[in-house]
Amino acid sequence: MAIVGIGVDAVEIDRMRRALERTPTLADRVFTVTELAQCRSRGDRLRPARLAGRFAAKEAVAKAFGTGVVGFSFRDVAVVNDDGGAPVIVLANAARAVAERCGITRVHVSLSLTGGIAVATAVAEA
C-alpha cells in the first residue's frame, strides 16, 4: 500500500441546513439514493448533520485525488455505512475512472461531528 493523497474538509451544519431549505433539489443533485436513505431520521426527515458529514467527505475525497471535483460529479462519490455503521467510500462512473487514472485502488474515510461542524478526512491509496 502506498498513500497517493490525503484530503480534509469541514462543513458548517447550519450552513447545510440553510442550503437544503433554500434549495429543496440540492439533496437529490448531490447525494445518492442510498446516502439519502441513510441520512433520514424517523418521520422521513433529512438530517443536515449527516448530510454535512457526507458532503465534507466528498470534498475530502476530491482533494485526496489531487484533482478537486473535476471530471466527475458529487453523486459519483457515495459515502455509505457498512453493516457495522462505519463510513465507506463507493466510487462510481467518472469518479471511478479518475481514481483508476490516478492509480487509486481504495479510499479510506473518517467523519466527525463537533461544535456545529462536520469534518471528514480521506486517504487515497494505490
What are the tens digits of pLDDT across the range 98-114?
999 989 999 999 999 99
Work out the pLDDT band at 96, boundaries 50, 70, 90.
Answer: very high
pLDDT at 124 over 80: yes
Judged by DSSP in three states, 76 sits in: helix
Domains of the chain: total: 1
What does the pLDDT read at residue 13? 97
Q: CATH number of the domain at 90, please.
A: 3.90.470.20
pTM, two decimals, is 0.93
What are the tens digits of pLDDT across the range 20-53?
999 989 999 999 999 999 888 666 678 999 999 9
| Residue among 75, 73, 63, 74 at smallest CA distance from 104 | 63
| Residue among 40, 36, 97, 45 at smallest CA distance from 70 | 97
Host H or E run for residue 120: strand 117-125
What does the pLDDT read at residue 43? 65
What are the tens digits of pLDDT across the range 66-93?
877 778 899 999 999 999 989 999 999 9
pLDDT at 60 over 80: yes
Task: Identify the domain containing residue 115 by its residue range.
Answer: 3-125
